[in-house]
Structure 1
Amino acid sequence: MKTTKDESAKAIKAPNNTTGKTTKNSNRTAKDGAIIAKPEASKDLRDFLEEELKAIYWAEKALTKALVKMAKNATSVQLIKTFKESLKETEVHVTRLEHVFESLGLKAVANKCDAMAELLHEVNGIIEGTEVGNVRDAAMIAAAQNVKHYEIATYGTLRVHAVTLGKTKAALLLAKTLEEQKNADVKLTEIAESHISVSAAYEGGK
């Protein structure tokens, strides 16, 4: 029995539900298992770069608020100082991203970054789930490094895309932030190692 083109189209579009309507969040897949892109999906590398810039722009803005909270909940003088310095540096990163948008002829727009939102949610959970003192400090250092590692990966990728597209100014600005993120991660590692030594000495003296 042959099927008409209209019937074939309906068979492909209709999901496995009682209404026969496609849900907004359902993934459409091709026969080979590849997910079919949404209509608003990035069409080329420049589109993708723009979308990723919007996401990291949101992420950096959200991080400024989180760092204020982290500084208030830390007890180590060194860690408090580091979080405050990181806040100032992150504010610079926000401004620098605006320059990146400008260099590409784009308006600076922030789109929610689910990855950063989840990382900052983890920060809140750590603060609420630990007592003030050495344990909370250590946990916040770990959470802060998770954030840094995400930023390092993101800025590294964005820089490569900018280079590929021949956007030299944008690439240089992104490279500068990438280097600062790497340095911040190293500083957090040094604080973590120092913190462990102090905590061990404290525990041993009980």
Structure 2
Amino acid sequence: MKTKTLEVLFHETLKDIYYAERKILRALPKMARGAQSPELRAAFEKHEEETQGHVERLQQVFDLIGKPARGKTCPAIDGIIEEGEEALQAFADTPALDASLVAAAQAVEHYEIARYGTLCRWAQVMGLKDAAKLLEQTLQEESMTDEVLTRIADGSVNQTALQAA
């Protein structure tokens, strides 16, 4: 039996977020197509490009620890994405659609922020400075995306959903 160390936990969590990022990469185009607001659509399209970069950075981290870049099924992200797809269908062609998409996207961002924050700290503790830098860069991008989504929601999306009530 493998000893349960921080290195093992780091690797397992890395596989989790790698799976999540690849799953998110497939979900973002659907969200962009579903968005009514041009600003929200553009945010999803921009984040799709960033997410490709996140996957590439994760591959670099796997290389740094000498492990193959492989994901492991992440039930948490599967559930969050499933909820987003349900919202997309449930609120299709309604004024609340974009508000539901922002909420779903922020659930994803918050999950990623939690994972990357943890991985950054562990990488630092383990002396993996290069890995920590890569993970920190992604953490900053995820946090910025969350802020952009909040701005879009506060700027128009939530008000549009409310006015239609």
TM-score w.r.t. structure 2 length?
Answer: 0.94
Matched, 1:197 2:159: yes
Alpha carbons 1:59, 1:116 under 8 Å: kept: yes
Higher Cα Rg, which structure: 1
Report how many residues are paired.
164
Which whole-Å CA distance do the structure 1 matches of 2:15 and 2:92 have between them? 36
Matched, 1:156 2:117: yes
SS at match of 1:134: coil
TM-score w.r.t. structure 1 length?
Answer: 0.76
Q: CA deviation at 1:198?
A: 4.1
SS at match of 1:105: coil
Alpha carbons 2:113, 2:139 under 8 Å: kept: yes
Which whole-Å CA distance do the structure 2 matches of 1:162 and 1:186 have between them? 25
Range that drifts further, 191-200 or 94-103: 191-200
Q: Of the two structures, which has the highest relative contact order with CA contacts closer than 8 Å and spacing of 6 or more?
A: 2
Which whole-Å CA distance do the structure 2 matches of 1:84 and 1:101 have between them? 26
> How do 1:96-111 residues align onto structure 2 when only pairs under 5 Å count?
96-111=57-72
Which whole-Å CA distance do the structure 2 matches of 1:109 and 1:199 have between them? 40
Which whole-Å CA distance do the structure 2 matches of 1:185 and 1:171 have between them? 21
Alpha carbons 1:66, 1:120 under 8 Å: kept: yes
Range that drifts further, 145-154 or 100-109: 100-109
> How do 1:91-130 residues align onto structure 2 when only pairs under 5 Å count?
91-130=52-91
Give unpaired runs (5+ residues) of structure 1.
1-38
Alpha carbons 1:74, 1:133 under 8 Å: kept: no
The two structures, once aligned, show a CA RMSD in angstroms of 1.5
> How do 1:17-56 residues align onto structure 2 when only pairs under 5 Å count?
43-56=4-17
- Percent same amino acid at aligned positions? 37
Give unpaired runs (5+ residues) of structure 2.
none
